[in-house]
Amino acid sequence: MNIDFYNPVKILSGKNCFRDFRDYAKFGKKAVIVCGKNSARLCGALSDAENGLREAGIGYTVFDRVEPNPFVSTCREGGREARRFGADFVIGIGGGSPLDAAKAVAAFAANPDFEPEDIYTKARVPALPFLAVNTTAGTGSEVTPYSIMTVPSIENKKSFAGDDLYAKLAFLDPSYTLSLPVGQTYSTAVDALCHAVEGYFMKKANPVSDALAEKCIPMICGGMRGVLAGDLGYENRERLLYASTLAGMVISRTGTGFVHSTGYMLTYYHGLSHGHANAYFLADFVEFMSRENPERAKKIFGLCGVKGSEELWELLGACPAMPLSSVITPEEASAYAARTITVKNVGNAVSVITEPELLDILRRRCI
Ligand code: NAP
Ligand code: ZN
């Protein structure tokens, strides 16, 4: 038995855990705050950061140009600004997009000569320290060593990883997620569910990642059912946020599978949100895994509170804000299946899907 596990992120959780934080000096004298255009302001986290930094005597600048599914070029630009400002550390505020961008900004700032795509190929000086402040409950980026960016030259999203990308501190204040609209609340929860479930069927899953997955899956599905019943209150937000972080710990050990790899195509070419894109494939992923791993699949269905893959499909597609309607042509389906099958992650699952099997799923669910 193997219980190897590494997740060196200090987590602070609960209402006002970030608003009241002042202990910045150990990370340096100057910070760059990385966020999107609106949400960091809207939810109050940006002004909490600015007040806290001012009171702690830390200089700061704000890079607020991170788009959803951030471009690698945007992150390099943020890295340059951080470098010009002389930032010692990076605070990412947002959903997975600003958090992943903040990791990349921290890496580009430490490697100022890098062209955007060098981040994927060249050895690097370790990234600046990075603190994460969540405003969505889904990606788990606050506890993973991955940063996923959009790379136009390969017409896809691509991740880079490293122990230097783990956040030094992750702040989980559910209040910041209260402003997230219902559709995004649901689709980010679906993303978290995908992390826990895909992670359960990866070769690197072990008793530690299994325990985390088994804990968080009922929390996420309970939270999703709550959202469907109109519960967007603090306690349900808290349940979804904490569960999504546990699911992030799962993938920090295991990585993700074909659900994510195929989902990236729907995001890149069709503009679907990350969680929504993944939602198309999760039920069939478990169904596929059930052929060779029936006991583990049965366990997953039980944890989700469903009888089988069709009920799971209904739960994933139940939210009116994220209709699972027709999105791609048959030609696109063939191209996406062919490309996905070559992705390394897909081969890291306990059962490896073939191109015709994946094409069958794409045809059934997306056309
Ligand atoms: P997101 O792309 O960060 O945000 C989606 C939208 O929600 C944006 O318009 C954002 O506005 C808005 N928003 C965020 N928080 C809000 C709030 N509290 N109130 C109102 N609006 C809010 O969404 P996400 O699903 O969290 O992140 C997806 C990204 O994470 C993808 O790029 C995906 O590849 C990545 N990801 C990373 C990992 C990892 O391990 N690193 C794992 C899974 C996914 P603003 O633009 O104004 O911020
Ligand atoms: Zn994801």
In this predicted model, what pLDDT tens digit does every residue of 21-59 receive, in sequence order? Answer: 999 999 999 999 999 999 999 999 999 999 999 999 999
Bridge-based pairing state of the strands 89-94 and 130-134: parallel
The answer, yes or no, to whether residue 322 has pLDDT greater than 80, is: no
At 120, is the pLDDT very low, low, confident or very high (cuts 50, 70, 90)? very high
- What pLDDT, on the 0 to 100 scale, is given for residue 231? 98
pLDDT in tens, 195-244: 999 999 999 999 999 999 999 999 999 999 999 999 999 999 999 999 99
366 pLDDT band, cuts 50/70/90, is confident
**Mean pLDDT value of segment 120-137:** 98
Q: What's the per-residue H, E or C state across the chain? A: CCCCCCCCCEEEECCCCCCCCCCCHHHCCEEEEEEECCHHHHCCHHHHHHHHHHHHCCEEEEEEEECCCCEHHHHHHHHHHHHHHCCCEEEEEECHHHHHHHHHHHHHHHCCCCCHHHHHCCCCCCCCCEEEEECCCCCCHHHCCEEEEEEHHHCEEEEEECHHHCCCEEEECHHHHCCCCHHHHHHHHHHHHHHHHHHHCECCCCHHHHHHHHHHHHHHHHHHHHHHCCCCCHHHHHHHHHHHHHHHHHHHHHCCCHHHHHHHHHHHHHCCCHHHHHHCCHHHHHHHHHHHCHHHHHHHHHHHCCCCHHHHHHHHCCCCCCCCCCCCCHHHHHHHHHHHCCCHHHHHECCCCCHHHHHHHHHHHHC
pLDDT in the model for residue 323: 65
Atom of ligand 1 nearest to the CA of 37: 47
Report the half-sphere exposure of 129 (CA within 13 A, side-chain side): 17
For 149-199, the pLDDT digits (tens) are 999 999 999 999 999 999 999 999 999 999 999 999 999 999 999 999 999
- Compute the average pLDDT of residues 133-158: 97
Which pTM was predicted?
A: 0.97
Q: Identify the CA nearest to 150 among candidates 258, 81, 68.
A: 68
Q: How far is the CA of 199 from the centre of ligand 2 (A)?
A: 11
Instruction: Find tokens 């599914």 and name the residue.
Output: 69
Q: Given pLDDT bands bounded at 50, 70 and 90, which one contains residue 324?
A: low
The yes-or-no verdict on residue 320 having pLDDT over 70 is: no
69 close to 157: Cβ distance less than 8 angstroms: yes
Q: In the chain, what percentage of residues exceed pLDDT 70?
A: 98
The amino acid present at 338, given as its one-letter code, is: A
Contact 219, 243 (CB under 8 A): yes
Average pLDDT score over residue span 69-88: 98
Protein residue whose Cα sits closest to atom 5 of ligand 1: 68
Arithmetic mean of pLDDT over the chain: 96
pLDDT score of 319 more than 80:
no
Q: What is the distance in A from the centroid of ligand 2 to the CA of 128?
A: 24
8 Å CB contact between 322 and 279 = yes
Protein residue with its CA nearest to atom 26 in ligand 1:
95
Confidence of residue 318 (pLDDT cuts 50, 70, 90): confident
* Residues 6+ positions from 136 with CB-CB distance below 8 Å: 94, 95, 96, 177, 180, 184, 188
The residue whose CB lies within 8 Å of the most ligand 1 atoms, and thus the one to mutate among 47, 62, 135, is 135
Q: Is the CB of 141 under 6 A from ligand 1?
A: yes
Protein residue closest via CA to atom 44 of ligand 1: 139
Give the position, in ligand 1's atom list, of the atom nearest the Cα of 39.
Answer: 47
Whether residue 158 contacts residue 70, with contact meaning beta carbons closer than 8 Å, is answered with no
Dihedral of CA atoms 260, 265, 270, 276 in degrees, nearest 10, equals -10
Cβ of 177 below 6 Å from ligand 1: yes
Q: What is the 3-state secondary structure (H, E, C) of 65-81?
A: EECCCCEHHHHHHHHHH
Cβ(146)–Cβ(116) below 8 Å: no
φ, ψ dihedrals at 147, nearest 5°? -130, 125
Residue 162's identity, in one-letter code, is G
Distance 42 CA to ligand 1 centre (A): 14
pLDDT above 90 for 119: yes
